[in-house]
Amino acid sequence: MKNPLPKKQDAPQEIRWHIGENAAAVSAEACRRILLAAEEAIAARGWFRMVLAGGNTPEATYELLAEGAAAWSRWEIFFSDERCLPRGDRRRNSVMARRAWLDRASFPPENIHPIPGELGAMEAARRYAIQVEPALPFDLVLLGLGEDGHTASLFPGHTHPEGDLVHPVFDAPKPPAERVTLGVAALSSTRHLLVLVCGETKRQAVAAWRRGADLPIRHIRPPGPLDVLADRPAAGDR
Ligand code: 6PG
């Protein structure tokens, strides 16, 4: 698929819900899907370009990936968003991903593209857009869903210039307030999109999404379907 264009905003969002028994089942399925997508991408194009989600949910998936073997030298890693904190700060999404996975596998350092959040949101967003543009379309974007329905650092009710690939954020309701996030256009430019949602605390956000609430995730429209891996507590299944 040469540089697939995101779906039009009026096209129905195609979502495939996959409900796992618990968070461990979700992480195992996410790991399986990521490795499969990587194999396909590397066989077809020689590279696998993946965007990592932040927060806590994906950590178990990253740990499973670290335990496996893959052609890491053919993987290129980007981040969906980053918190504007000093380098090495454990609250940064890239620090979590390195601890759980990236520093435990043989990635060539140049294959990992952290968002330079330590430079402040404006400068980091400007620089990251220059790195993201030539990497599009991604092969797989991994996202989470916050309790308030945010995705990456795109928050409900917050607007951003549609044409920008990367946005500075200064008023994030989830601390820290200052962040950098890939925008809808960049997150939609992907062959696979996987959303991981686990835990009772996400039930309302999942229900709102399913009800058609105007959440940022609804505006992310890759050419193909969104695959949502949720555990029973998040999906509202008893
Ligand atoms: C962040 C993340 C954010 C995260 C959701 C879900 O910086 O916090 O990028 O978008 O994916 O908030 O977070 P949990 O997985 O911790 O619930």
List pLDDT tens digits, range 204-235. 999 999 999 999 999 999 999 999 999 999 99
Ligand 1 pocket member 54 (CB < 6 A): yes
* Domain ranges for the chain: 15-235
Give the confidence band of 180 by pLDDT, cuts at 50, 70, 90.
very high
pLDDT 10s digits, 69-118: 999 999 999 999 999 999 999 999 999 999 999 999 999 999 999 999 99
Beta pairing, strands 179-182 & 75-79: unpaired
Smallest CA separation from ligand 1 atom 8, residue? 55
Strand order in the sheet with 166-169: 81-83, 179-182, 166-169
The residue contributing the CA closest to ligand 1 atom 10 is: 152
Rounded Cα–Cα distance for residues 141 and 137 (Å)? 10
pLDDT at 23 > cutoff 90: yes
In contact, 140 and 191? CB cutoff 8 Å: yes
- 53 CA distance to ligand 1 middle (Å): 7
Cis peptide before 137 (omega within 30 of 0): yes
Ligand 1 centroid distance, CA of 153 (Å): 8
Among 3.40.50.2300, 3.40.50.1360, 3.30.2350.10, 3.60.21.10, name the CATH number for the domain at 15-235. Answer: 3.40.50.1360
Ligand 1 touching residue 23 (CB < 6 A) = no
Average confidence (pLDDT) over 165-182: 98
More confident residue, 233 or 6: 233
Q: Is the pLDDT of residue 44 over 50?
A: yes
Give the CB-side neighbour count of residue 232, counting CA atoms within 13 A.
5
Give SS3 for 13: coil
Residue nearest to atom 1 of ligand 1 (CA): 55
Is 1's pLDDT higher than 60?
no
Does the beta carbon of 83 sit less than 6 angstroms from any atom of ligand 1?
yes
pTM of the model: 0.96
8 pLDDT above the threshold of 80: no
| Ligand 1 mean position, distance from CA 149 (Å) | 10
Q: How far is the CA of 142 from the centre of ligand 1 (A)?
A: 11
